[in-house]
Amino acid sequence: MLKTKLCAPAINAMSLSGRVIDLRELEGKKVLVKFHRFSGCPIARRQVDDLIEAQEALGTAGIETIVVLHSSADKMHPNFDEVPGLHLVADPTKSLYRAYQAEFHWQKLFSLASWRATLASFARGYFPQVTRFQGGILGLPCDFLVDEHGRIAATHYGTHFGDSWTAADALQAATVR
């Protein structure tokens, strides 16, 4: 697991909108880097949609957001639209996941907390999209707040599929630093 005060691993990727996202070019800003599962995952879709809705508040606090999913851009396009300050990145090879030491545990499929998060997503109208499953169904969310100097200011490694920072959690982490 990555620790605070370390330099954040490099991100140099194409966003869903075709913009090159280079973490070094965002120095001077706080950056929330979030890793979710694949784009057909009901939990990931619900959490990313919630984040898209909250991006204005994050932007007001001076926070850019990079959301990474282990799906191809083709699988992501039907589900998500970027908004100013929020960049969606496809990582089907999971290279960024490895750089940030994101975890993949099959045991979490049987976690009661994972199933609670899944059912909560169903209750909000988010259902599995099996045609968009890619990169496997495993993967735990993780979140990183990168400071203005490119160093990791806060981390959160999820313990189940739904354990990811909300925008409020990210704002709280940003004010504590």
3-state secondary structure of 26: helix
| Sequential pLDDT tens for the chain (177 residues) | 899 999 999 999 999 999 999 999 999 999 999 999 888 889 889 999 999 999 999 999 999 999 999 888 988 888 888 898 999 999 999 999 999 998 766 676 678 888 898 889 899 988 887 767 666 666 788 999 999 999 999 999 998 888 999 999 999 999 875
Instruction: Give the pair of three-digit tokens for residue 142.
Output: 């993780």
**Residues paired with 18 in a beta bridge:** none
What type of residue is 31? Answer: V
What pLDDT is attached to residue 82? 87
SS3 15: strand
Q: Does domain 12-176 have CATH number 3.30.70.890?
A: no
| Burial grade of 34 (CB within 10 A; 0-12, 13-18, 19 or more) | buried
pLDDT at 136: 65
Phi and psi at residue 46, to the nearest 5°: -65, -45
